[in-house]
Amino acid sequence: MLAVAAAAISFFGLTAPASAAFPVHGVVLGGGQGQLVIRTQGAPGELPAGTYRWHTTQPGPAPAAGTEVDALVEGPPYRAIDVHPAGAFIAGLPGSLKVTLLHPGDGLPDRTLVDQQGRVHQLSEWRDKSVLLSFIYTRCPDQQICPAISGKFAYLQHHIDPSRTHLVLVSLDPMFDSPSVLARYGAQFDADASRWSLMTGEGAQVKALLDAFGVSSLEDEPGRYIHEDDLVMIRPGGTIAEIIPTAGWAPSDVLAELNAVNGGSGNSLQRLALAAVAGIASLCQGYSVSQIMVELGAIGITFVFAFGLLGWFGWRILMRGD
């Protein structure tokens, strides 16, 4: 099999990648003497689909021929690293029977991801800082979700102290969103990689992270996902401070809460507004407004009226202060 595969090889050096490292998924055709022959669908902007012979320093025996694998490819000199058996990435609902969902107070799981510059990172690298983490994909057609989140991150990157806070957006479409695709996407928002990492990774790593936060991602048609849009705030030390289950947050409110997480005194009204947005979003998950009112009846109507009245009084107080 190896001889047949070798005859069909497209040597990697003839297709220079745009990034230093990028994830691939493929099938092992053979190997030996520190090399693997892998057939892969490639990575957009990085590597065409084909069959490649890569050097590897992976310890232990090579995966058997026919094994589906995830790997990171880096270089030059080009080599496959972190090669391990893995099924193809399939978007879907988190496996609740297999995964323990994360909540505020839990530690952020460490995952190996690759940023828009092709640099390999562990999430633990930023444990001495606070982190704002959310999920997007570059082909998202809904301007109210992924582009809106990215636009807010573009604003946030100019209002954080990079010595204390880092921004992370993880793609929930890792098979398409290669580092070079993320780099082009980030350029639309003037993303500064020293403050804001747009990240992809091996399918298994990304799926494990999505599942841990309970982020569902359903592909209703090729290249189009219906997904949740949580914002996760992680305090220095790596524990989760807040999970905001909506893209409807205001950057100024998030900055106020972030200041408090970093040990400062964030604006109380802005922090209250963020808590209200998170609370209402949690209440409304899976429901329309009319369904919420049917479920809660008079209690729901009273709650909405009281919240509106409180907001009106707060606005009047602020106006008098000005």
Q: Are residues 155 and 182 in contact, defined by beta-carbon separation less than 8 angstroms?
A: no
Q: Are residues 305 and 280 in contact, defined by beta-carbon separation less than 8 angstroms?
A: no
Confidence of residue 193 (pLDDT cuts 50, 70, 90): very high
Confidence of residue 313 (pLDDT cuts 50, 70, 90): low
Using the Cα atoms of residue 98, residue 121, residue 228 and residue 280 in order, give the sign of their dihedral. Answer: positive
Residue 97's identity, in one-letter code, is L
Phi, psi of 129 (to 5 degrees): -125, 170
- Answer yes or no: is pLDDT of 213 > 50: yes
User: DSSP string covering 299-320, please?
Assistant: HHHHHHHHHHHHHHHHHHHHHH
**Rounded Cα gap, residues 72 and 112, in angstroms:** 10
- Answer yes or no: is pLDDT of 45 > 50: yes
Q: Are residues 251 and 156 in contact, defined by beta-carbon separation less than 8 angstroms?
A: yes
pLDDT tens digits, 247-256: 889 999 999 9
Torsion-angle region of residue 131: left (phi > 0), alpha (psi -120 to 50) or beta?
A: beta
Q: Give the CA distances from residue 215 to residues 144, 239, 242, in Å, rounded to whole numbers and listed in that order.
A: 18, 18, 15
> Position of tokens 């505020």?
104
- pLDDT score, position 89: 83
- pLDDT score, position 99: 63
Mean pLDDT of 198-216: 90
- pLDDT score, position 197: 98
Percent of the chain with pLDDT over 70: 78
- Answer yes or no: is pLDDT of 112 > 60: yes
Torsion-angle region of residue 237: left (phi > 0), alpha (psi -120 to 50) or beta?
A: left
Phi, psi of 280 (to 5 degrees): -65, -40
Q: Which of 192-196, 293-297, 312-316 has the highest mean pLDDT?
A: 192-196
Confidence of residue 319 (pLDDT cuts 50, 70, 90): very low
pLDDT tens digits, 272-299: 777 777 777 666 654 433 333 334 444 4
Provide CB contacts within 8 A for 220, sequence distance 6+: 226
Q: Give the CA distances from residue 309 to residues 292, 293, 303, 313, 321, in Å, rounded to whole numbers and listed in that order.
A: 19, 18, 10, 6, 19
Mean pLDDT of 40-65: 88
Q: Are residues 62 and 80 in contact, defined by beta-carbon separation less than 8 angstroms?
A: no
